[in-house]
Amino acid sequence: MAKTIVVIPAYNEGGVIAGVIEKVRRAVPDLDILVVNDGSRDRTAREAKDAGAIVISHSFNMGYGVTIQTAYKFAYANGYDYLVQIDGDGQHDPAFIPHLLAPVVSGDTDFVLGSRFMGVESYRPSFSRRLGILFFRKLVSNLIGRSITDPTSGYQAFNREVMRFFTTDVFPCDYPDADMLITLNLSGFRIREIPVRMYANTSGKTMHNGFKPLYYMFKMCLSIFVTLLRNRQLYRR
């Protein structure tokens, strides 16, 4: 039987993470769950362990990109065939995990991205966040030659070959959103989007307040530019 793991990057998600794990387990009771605790200063790690998840903790905060690559390295080293990635703040509805996995497990595609803009009722992002999503939607779609509706979604599923690829230095650790899609496309992986449900972030922790969205857009554009300049030999599978 194929081994599948659900990975949850988490930073200061105490009070929330146990509920996310419980919902994941209800949706897919037979799958392993890994929480990568990125140097949280609260009870994230303890609550995740008490909820029955495998927990890896960074000694200090290393950022989202390093955190998810830690999860990929663990999954690949431990022989998992498929991986689902879901946020630790409760925004992603775990009921859609089987839908994300289905086309990957069947071999129809290598990487599935969950989109909140494809027909399933989801929350409406703030104006600044919608502006950023629209910008990167146009940019990524033009660069990879196919339509992508939700390029900053962190709700994903992929196979072992993508897992292996993401454990290498080619993985864009700084801003691994749109950059991941571009890197996968350059390497010849098959990408598909499917509709999922997402909920609004009610924790008050967001990077999309004030001038942060502009900074994020600038850094993401810079990261994409560097990706496009890199030697194409790096993207060989």
pLDDT of 123-161, one tens digit each? 777 777 777 888 889 989 998 999 999 998 999 999 999
77 close to 185: Cβ distance less than 8 angstroms: no
% helix, strand, coil for the chain, step of 5: 40, 15, 40
Q: Does position 165 have pLDDT exceeding 80, yes or no?
A: yes
Distance in angstroms (rounded) separating the CA atoms of residues 220 and 119: 27
Q: What is the pLDDT of residues 2-57, one digit of tens each?
A: 799 999 999 999 999 999 999 999 999 999 999 999 999 999 999 999 999 999 99
State the chain's mean pLDDT as an integer.
89
Q: Does position 1 have pLDDT exceeding 70, yes or no?
A: no
Structure-token match 């660069």, residue found: 143
pLDDT in the model for residue 207: 39
Alpha helices (runs of H) in 108-154, residue ranges in sequence order: 127-144
Distance in angstroms (rounded) separating the CA atoms of residues 128 and 211: 10
* Least reliable range by pLDDT among 88-97, 194-203, 214-223: 214-223
What 3-state DSSP class applies to 28? coil
pLDDT tier, 210 (very low <50, low <70, confident <90, very high otherwise): very low
Residue in 106, 104, 100, 116 with CA at minimum distance from that of residue 190: 104
CATH topology of domain 4-235: Spore Coat Polysaccharide Biosynthesis Protein SpsA; Chain A (3.90.550)
